[in-house]
A and B are shown apart, each in its own frame.
Chain A
Amino acid sequence: DAGVIQSPRHEVTEMGQEVTLRCKPISGHDYLFWYRQTMMRGLELLIYFNNNVPIDDSGMPEDRFSAKMPNASFSTLKIQPSEPRDSAVYFCASSLEGTVGYGEQYFGPGTRLTVT
């Protein structure tokens, strides 16, 4: 398996523009997570899905952020309109809930977003 795939790897956009980040989880995994990483706040969970259904979006900063998972192999995180403070690395991770514990989360390579 190629692991979790994210695109684009880098995104530079101007304030006010819409940004869409994409993720393909590992095949067969039933959990998908979106994280944001900054130097100031570290790694923050934004939202996670179980079997394509959003379970907890309490980490989504505000209404400008939205996430969808239309099927088991694809998810998007959208920011509209984007602001400079959204600049961060956004990670997608997936996992398979095992019989013991909660399963290891496999992270993608991340998307580095810069909003100017």
Chain B
Amino acid sequence: GESVGLHLPTLSVQEGDNSIINCAYSNSASDYFIWYKQESGKGPQFIIDIRSNMDKRQGQRVTVLLNKTVKHLSLQIAATQPGDSAVYFCAADNNAGNMLTFGGGTRLMVKP
């Protein structure tokens, strides 16, 4: 079945630096991907999404890159701030409706 995984469980960055969080997926039929942010004690919160007909999408301080050839996507956060500290999940659809498969999560720690 679908599996979505993250390369690094914990990422520590200096405040003001850029952060890059990576994710791999296994189902080549997936055509919709989402990044979620989860702060301690809260549910996951949508950050940005991308469809498979795109390879890049930008939001406010965040950019998602999709490489369908190697089934890899990344989340780039510009000028990382203390408020960005959280666990970040990537999720991919299973191409059969509204189901999403979530990766294991990467914890981002921002050092002041």
Contact = CB atoms under 8 A, between A and B. Distances in A.
A18 interface: no
B59 interface: no
Interface in A17-48: 31, 33, 42-45, 48
A108 B42 CA distance: 8
Contact of A106 (B46, B51, B93, B101): B46
Contact of A107 (B41, B44, B49, B103): B44
Contacts of A108: 43
B109 to A, nearest CB: 17
Number of contact residues on B: which range applies? 20 to 34
Query: Mostly helix, strand, loop or mixed at chain A's interface?
Result: strand
Nearest to A59: B99
Query: Mostly helix, strand, loop or mixed at chain B's interface?
Result: strand
A104 B32 contact: no
B103 A97 contact: no
Contact of B43 (A31, A48, A93, A104): A93
Interface in A95-113: 95, 97, 100-110
Nearest to A32: B98
Given A50-B98, A101-B49, A102-B100, 7 more contacts: A33-B98, A42-B102, A42-B104, A91-B43, A93-B43, A95-B98, A102-B97
Interface of A: 4, 31, 33, 42-45, 48, 50, 55-56, 91, 93, 95, 97, 100-110
28 contacts: A31-B98, A42-B103, A42-B105, A43-B89, A43-B102, A45-B99, A45-B101, A45-B102, A48-B98, A50-B97, A55-B97, A56-B99, A91-B43, A91-B44, A101-B49, A101-B51, A102-B100, A103-B98, A105-B34, A105-B44, A105-B100, A107-B36, A107-B44, A107-B45, A109-B41, A109-B43, A110-B42, A110-B43
